Amino acid sequence: MQEQNKMKVKKGWLAVQVGLEDEDGGFRRFVIPISYLDHPIFRRLLEKAHEVYGYHAPGPLRLPCSVDDFLHQRWRIEKETANYSQHHHYHYHLPSSLSFRAC
């Protein structure tokens, strides 16, 4: 039952395995938001995965980088996403010539 719960991923998230063949810890599982797939940093990781494993690799999506490198890239993505959302708020301004009357 515990193994079954570990395998479940919430809607809007994606499980990936990160690691290099020669690392002592082997592969480590991470769950990331699907929105990462649109980020240029993550796209570079996907391109590298394609070069190493191809498109039809069996099992879960593997990212061929060290866990430390992945954690750094994830931090960069989160930082850029936070900065973007802070600086890109939508403000709607009505022209001053418009007026509203109560009905």
The H or E element that residue 62 is part of is strand 61-63
**Biggest alpha carbon–alpha carbon distance for the chain:** 73
**pLDDT over 90 percentage in the chain:** 50
pLDDT, residue 74, reads 96
The pLDDT tens digits of the residues spanning 21-68 come to 776 778 899 999 999 999 999 999 999 999 998 888 777 899 999 999
pTM of the predicted model as reported, rounded to 2 decimal places: 0.69
What's the pLDDT band for 6 if we cut at 50, 70, 90?
low
- What's the rounded Cα separation, in Å, for the pair 103 and 88? 35
